[in-house]
């Protein structure tokens, strides 16, 4: 496969989680890459060699609960502040004082909060797919409970320990294939079909997934890599991120309404629900991200943005990194 991290180095470093597994390629200023759900470091396989070739030290982690990183048993161990400290620990374990941080999906939210809570470590932040929205408003669980009418929003569905695991773990590979396809531009259901972000009462999330075809960005071999990780670790560590949203709301109270002031980047997909649902957050960037240097919505792109449109995303990342102030480069 082209543009793969074939000569990258795998390492384990100490963190508050116990250990964080990372994959590293290149030398130069550190760029820390943080994946989302349900993925791993592997979702950055197309970015690692490109960033390395451009003169950066590109490092993609397995977030705690994923891959070869530690998987604490307590669901409360996956709160946002813990993940922020994991990221800071990785930077220091690599012998660096600061880094650019880039995240996708949940990784975007983790990256944004890393920049917010630890500006001493993270001097620039790139957000893919999920926009930054400052902490505020009602508890997240109250918001999600009001969504969907008679249907249940997927975030609410993920809350109960063991419930989503019982759906996913008997056929991890098949579930992942359907989930990836449901949010990809070339395989997502038609707008008239039931929304795959919601669950009908008494049914499962996968009942609304498309079947029979992988998205164009995902080969059978690549799906095997993703599935193999979750078949080994189970899903509870990954799902625990969703189970801490109310705890995060409490933990981050002092940052209510706080903007991110570091130089920043946003890239979204026009067909991604995260972009449409959070359009107000994107429109508020002049206030909430006053350091924004570059913002892009990729026409006809779904959720898995750095895999669906890897060449465009790679170029946008390089252009942004090159444009960072000298002290941040």
Which residues have a catalytic role annotated?
105, 303
Dist CA 15 CA 22 (whole Å) = 12
* Residue that has been written with the tokens 């509870």 in this structure: 236
DSSP string, 59-96: EEEPPTTSTTS---SSGGGG-HHHHHHHHHHHHHHTT-
Separation CA 275–CA 271 (nearest Å): 8
Q: How many residues can be counted in the chain? A: 329
Is omega for the bond preceding 38 within 30 degrees of 0, making it cis? yes
Residues 88/90/93/94 CA torsion (nearest 10 deg):
-110
Which residue shows structure tokens 């100490």? 14
CA–CA gap between residue 323 and residue 90 (Å, rounded): 25
Whether 210 contacts 177, CB under 8 Å: no
Region of 92 (left: φ > 0; alpha: ψ -120 to 50; beta: rest) is: alpha
């Amino acid at each position: 496969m082209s543009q793969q991290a074939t000569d990258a180095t795998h390492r384990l470093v100490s963190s508050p989680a116990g250990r964080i597994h990372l994959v590293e390629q290149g030398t130069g200023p550190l760029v820390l890459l943080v994946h989302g759900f349900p993925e791993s470091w592997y979702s950055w396989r197309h970015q690692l060699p490109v960033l390395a070739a451009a003169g950066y030290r590109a490092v993609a982690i397995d977030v705690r609960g994923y891959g070869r990183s530690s998987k604490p048993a307590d669901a409360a161990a996956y709160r946002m502040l813990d993940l922020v400290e994991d990221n800071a620990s990785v930077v220091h374990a690599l012998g660096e004082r600061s880094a650019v941080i880039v995240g996708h999906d949940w990784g975007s939210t983790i990256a944004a909060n890393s920049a917010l809570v630890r500006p001493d470590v993270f001097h620039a932040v790139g957000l893919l797919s999920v926009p930054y929205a400052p902490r505020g408003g009602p508890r997240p669980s109250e918001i999600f409970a009001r969504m969907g009418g008679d249907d249940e929003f997927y975030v609410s569905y993920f809350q109960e320990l063991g419930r989503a695991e019982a759906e996913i773990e008997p056929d991890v590979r098949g579930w992942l294939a359907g989930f990836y396809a449901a949010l990809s531009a070339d395989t997502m259901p038609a707008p008239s079909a039931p929304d795959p972000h919601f669950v009908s009462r008494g049914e499962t999330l996968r009942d609304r997934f498309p079947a029979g075809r992988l998205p164009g960005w995902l080969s059978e071999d690549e799906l095997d890599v993703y599935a193999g990780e979750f078949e080994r670790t189970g899903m509870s560590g990954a799902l625990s991120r969703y189970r801490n949203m109310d705890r995060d709301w409490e933990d981050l109270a002092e940052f209510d309404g706080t903007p991110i002031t570091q130089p920043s980047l946003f890239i979204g997909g026009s067909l991604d629900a995260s972009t449409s649902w959070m359009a107000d957050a994107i429109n508020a960037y002049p206030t909430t991200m006053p350091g924004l240097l570059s913002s892009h919505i990729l026409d006809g792109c779904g959720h898995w943005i750095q895999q669906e449109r890897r060449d465009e995303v790679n170029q946008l990342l390089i252009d942004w990194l090159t444009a960072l102030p000298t002290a941040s480069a």
